[in-house]
Amino acid sequence: MKIKKAFLKFIISSAFVSLALVTIPSYGIKSQVVSQNLDQINLTSDLDLKWRNFLNQTAITNVLHEMFGDNNQAKDEYIKSQFDLINSPYAIKLKSALKYANLITRPSTAKFDFFSGISYPYPIEQAIKVIDEAQSQNWLWYLYNLTTLVFMQKSDFTRQNNESAASFAIRDNENKLLYSNFVTLKSNIFIQEVKQVDSDNNVTFYLLNKDGYILQIEIRKDPEEPTSAIIFGYIRTYPKLLEANQINEIFNLNKYVNLYASFGLSSNNETAEVLYKDFYGGVLLQYTAVDID
């Protein structure tokens, strides 16, 4: 009897050990799956929050309203299409296009054909189409991704009358040392916005982001064509804006727009432009997108 009891106790205890050995790994697998699901949920929630914060800006709301008016269905469908691009390979497509056809490396001259007009080699043409699509059809996605774009400075320095080549080279190098050739914006949040309407009812929005860079987006309204948008290929800033802790205290975007919009209408314009640039650091810095992370 003692032997039977001992054997029975051994069988029962062995069963529990076997059960424990089987169930412990299964709990581990379930835990891992749950953890992965939670990570995905957190990632999605974080993306949703960033997207909502971006959309809820007054500037973005106004641009969307100018594009779609009261057609909420069309607006919602467009917003969804832009959100769907965020986790798609679209950025990789744009990255390749920017490599070959950004405004810095794009050939300044192209072949002219009587029937088709100016034409570039096929790979360049296709890359230009991708960039144009990102800055027009997918303008909302483009603005959201400002912080992932890499911008390169366009040098506007020109050789002055009677200036030697050596002197010009020194000035140009000083500019490159003082102001980075490449910049990445830290924010896609806009702190100032100005809207301009021209005689054809086209609308231009000027947007100042938290880093001190000015962007320009034009809404084109043709009675015979769907309303379209295009983002200007360059972002602009001044040295003082890059150094300022409180940009709103030292810079009025409306004054900038009014001043530059009036250039060419008066003999005093050149003087006004020089004085304005001098006040904000002596140079208007311009950058264009050349890469995307």
The pLDDT assigned to 106 comes to 83
CA angle (219, 220, 223) in 5-degree steps: 135
CB 9 within 8 A of CB 1: no
Among 158, 150, 156, 146, CA closest to 188:
146
DSSP 132-171: HHHHTTTHHHHHHGGGGEEEEEEP---PPTT--HHHHHHH
Distance CA 241, CA 243 (A): 5
Distance CA 20, CA 77 (A): 53
Q: State the sign of the Cα–Cα–Cα–Cα dihedral 235, 240, 245, 248.
A: negative
pLDDT at 170 over 90: no
Q: What is the pLDDT of residues 244-284, one digit of tens each?
A: 999 999 999 999 998 876 544 444 567 888 889 899 998 89
Q: What is the pLDDT of residues 176-211, one digit of tens each?
A: 556 678 999 999 999 999 999 998 889 999 999 999
Distance CA 233, CA 218 (A): 11
For the ranges 3-12, 13-22, 23-32, 258-267, the one whose mean pLDDT is highest? 258-267
Q: What is the DSSP letter of 103?
A: T
**Whole-model pTM over 0.85:** no
